[in-house]
Structure formats: structure tokens, C-alpha cells
Amino acid sequence: MDFDETPQEAAFRAECVQWLEANLPPDGSGRDQTAITISDPEVENAYVARCKAWQRTKYDGGWGSITWPVEFGGKGLSGIHDGIFKEEEAKRVEATGVFAVGIGMAGPTIIAHGTDAQKERYLPAMLKGEEVWCQLFSEPVAGSDLGGLRTAAVRDGDEWVVNGQKVWTSGAQYSDWGILLTRTDPDQPKHRGITYFLVDMTTPGIEVRPLVQITGAAHFNEVFLSDVRIPHENILGGVNAGWGPIMTTLSNERALIGGSTTRTRFEELAKLAHQTGGDRDPAMRQELAKAYTRMEIMKYQGYRMRTAASRGELPGPESSTMKLAISLHFGETGDLVMAMNGASGMLHADSARDEGRWQYEFLGQWASRIGGGTDDIQRNTIGEKVLGLPPDIRVDKGVPFREIPS
């Protein structure tokens, strides 16, 4: 791993900065802080509209995706380049959030497993920011153990009829399309017999019910599917052959989370410390130094992942180390910012300092400990793949899904 940017990477960074500075959205950061701390469809829709407009600007300028191949509208560059662009973008624009599932996960999966017709239908609209996607994977009894999913699809002529329930579906309330996993053959072992669909979220029979989180926002949802009819042509990767596309989606999700920069920059923590007097308190100075150290370690770990990605290596166990480091960091930093806020940490949203962003920082830590694979699951992966410990005992391996007790 080389810590210094190559002359080509430095030139690319300069190019990113130049383009971003010349094309910034008129409303600055683009994020309304209240959109992440309260549940208000109007505020949220306005945020989604800003995200779409910014994505369209990027698409028109040729910056819609750094890593998608050129033939699908991307720049066809490496994960390192993507990291450079995102780093510079994050300093200037925050209206990027709603495309993580689409451009970051569904798009690469369609590129890898889709038919020509699917690529033509879905990829351009995704990259132009016209269609937002959500991920209909988790179910009430299938999260960490995704292979246990029970939502059933049964073929009826040229269509499939889907019944079941999904949960924790981020952004389903404003999504146009979803990537949906269903059980299509319960006589096969659990990781087989799964079919991956692309589903229009306006299809009759889909009901989206928001779930209000600890932060006050309703970021994710329960999604009920009752006799939802999906055309056969919307299958990605073949009937009962969903596990391949699932792995592509999940490895892109891990790379996305692992490659994400931390929510708060150290300069912002230092500013808060200065405003609250935390920088004159020895115990808090100690915690600030620890936060700085964690951020530096994650930065270099990020370089390691990007270096691997630029060599064409799939994200390995280092993405689990990174995901775990990020969520532990969010926890410790969340505690620190609340300690610096002192009694005013009990205030909420508009009444609180900086419109409640520090409360959000604190309360948001649990989401990152669970979403995209829990801390325990990351520890299992590290234990098995890095430390060579014995794997979990899998009593349902090779057993037909129908025979697994529920």
C-alpha cells in the first residue's frame, strides 16, 4: 500500500475539485438537518428532490458514477478514484444519500448479472437520478441469516405472484424500484431456491409502512407484499439462482459502508470542543485524542481497501474490520459529543445546539451497529476469515428449506 497519491491521482483530485466548485448546487450543502431528525414527508421529499437534481447535474457532467463502466455512463475508474471524488464531494455537498442502494448496489448487480434489456431499461434512469431504489432483503426472521427468507413467489404464466413481508427497508417510502428476494423453491437448501426480482414499487399489493427510529426520523419501513404480480422478465440472474446476485449486492454494500468517510470530521469535533469548553477538560481532551487516532486508523484502513479494489480484488475480511471500526467509532464519538454538550444534550432538534446534529450523532450509533451486518456478524467474519477460528456450527446446511424448523 502506498499512502501518497500518485501524480495521476493528485491530478484526478484537482479535476474533481475544479468540477465540483464549478457545479455546486445553488442551495449549498443541500441537506436540511431536520430531514434526518424528524419525520416530515414534506422536508424529506424536498431533500430527495435535491438529491435527484444533484445526481442529474453529476450525470450531465459525466460524473454520475466514477466506477461504473464507460459503456453504462460511468467513468470506468477504480475504487481509489471513487474514494477521491466522494471525499471532495462530501466536503461540499450532502445531497447524495438516496442513491446508495440504486447506483451503489443494484446498478453494479444489474451490470454483473442483468440481461441487455434490463441494463438498457434500468441503468440510465438510475444514473440520471430519475429513479430511486430500495433493498427488500431483510425480513422479520431473516436478517443476519438472510438465507432464511420466507417471502414466497409462485409462478403464474408470465408473472410471479409474491406474498410476504420485508422490514427495515431504507427509503422504501420514496423509492420507485426495489431489489427483492423471494423463496421460489422450498425443497432446495436455504441458500438455493431463492430468486432475485426487480420490482416496481407502485405495483398493486405493495404497502409501505414507515418505522419511526430512536432519532425521530422514519428512515426505514415495513413493506408488506400481498399478491404482488411481477413479470417474469424482471428476474435477475435466473429462477432459483438468486444467491450469485445477492453476493454481488452485499459485497458492494460492504464496500460502500467500509469506504464511507466518518460522519463528522475531526475539525467539527474540535470546534464543538472549543464552543463547549471540552478542549479545556483533560478527560475530554483525552477522548478527543482517541477520536483523532481512530479517524486516522480508519483513513489508512480505507486506503488499504481502495488499494485492493483498484487491483480488482473483491472486498475481503478487511471490509468487516472497517465496518466494525466505523460502528465502534460512531458509538464512542456519540458518547463524546453528548458529554461535551452537557445538560443541553437533553434538548431536541431546533431547540438543541446545531439543530440537534449531536443528538443525532449519539442516537444514530445503534443504526450503524446493526445495518449492513451487525457488529457480532463482523466479529464472526473476522474470527473465521482472519483469525482462522472454527466457523459457526451450521445445522441446516444442505437441508431442504421446507424441513428447517421455524
Ligand X SMILES: Cc1cc2nc3c(=O)[nH]c(=O)nc-3n(C[C@H](O)[C@H](O)[C@H](O)COP(=O)(O)OP(=O)(O)OC[C@H]3O[C@@H](n4cnc5c(N)ncnc54)[C@H](O)[C@@H]3O)c2cc1C
Show which residues are catalytic: 253
Q: What is the DSSP string of 81-114?
A: HHHHHHHHHHHH--TTGGGTTIIIIIHHHHHHH-
Taking CB atoms within 8 Å and a gap of at least 24, the contacts of 375-382 are: 375/324, 375/327, 375/328, 376/144, 377/144, 378/320, 378/321, 378/323, 378/324, 379/324, 381/317, 381/320, 382/317, 382/320, 382/321, 382/324
Instruction: Give 40 or 384: the residue with its C-beta nearer to ligand X.
Output: 384
Instruction: Give 234 or 368: the residue with its C-beta nearer to ligand X.
Output: 368
Shortest separation between residue 10's beta carbon and ligand X, angstroms: 35
Instruction: Give 8 or 144: the residue with its C-beta nearer to ligand X.
Output: 144
Shortest separation between residue 164's beta carbon and ligand X, angstroms: 13
Shortest separation between residue 146's beta carbon and ligand X, angstroms: 7
Instruction: Give 149 or 269: the residue with its C-beta nearer to ligand X.
Output: 149
Cα 91 to its chain centre, rounded Å, is: 19
Binding site for ligand X (CB under 6 A): 134-135, 137-138, 143-144, 168-170, 220, 367, 370-371, 373-374, 376-377, 380, 392
Closest residue to ligand X, judged by C-beta, is 143
Q: Say how many Å lie between the first and final Cα of the chain, rounded.
A: 47
Residue 195 belongs to what H/E stretch?
strand 194-200
d(CA 188, CA 201): 28
Shortest separation between residue 178's beta carbon and ligand X, angstroms: 9
Instruction: Give 178 or 193: the residue with its C-beta nearer to ligand X.
Output: 178
Q: Sign (positive/negative) of CA torsion 218, 260, 366, 386? A: positive
Which 8-state DSSP code applies to residue 397? T
Instruction: Give 350 or 376: the residue with its C-beta nearer to ligand X.
Output: 376
Asked if residue 238 lies in contact with residue 302, where contact means CB atoms within 8 angstroms, the answer is no
Shortest separation between residue 223's beta carbon and ligand X, angstroms: 9
d(CA 65, CA 56): 11
**CA distances in angstroms from 199 to 20, 172, 206, 235, listed in the order given:** 34, 12, 10, 9
Shortest separation between residue 15's beta carbon and ligand X, angstroms: 33
Cα 232 to its chain centre, rounded Å, is: 28
Q: Which residues contact 372 (CB under 8 A, 6 or more apart)?
A: 253, 254, 257, 323
As beta bridge partners, residue 162 has 153, 228
Instruction: Give 180 or 340: the residue with its C-beta nearer to ligand X.
Output: 180
Residue 229 belongs to what H/E stretch?
strand 220-231
Other C-beta atoms closer than 10 Å to the C-beta of 312 total 8
Other C-beta atoms closer than 10 Å to the C-beta of 275 total 13
Shortest separation between residue 367's beta carbon and ligand X, angstroms: 4
Find the length of the chain. Answer: 406
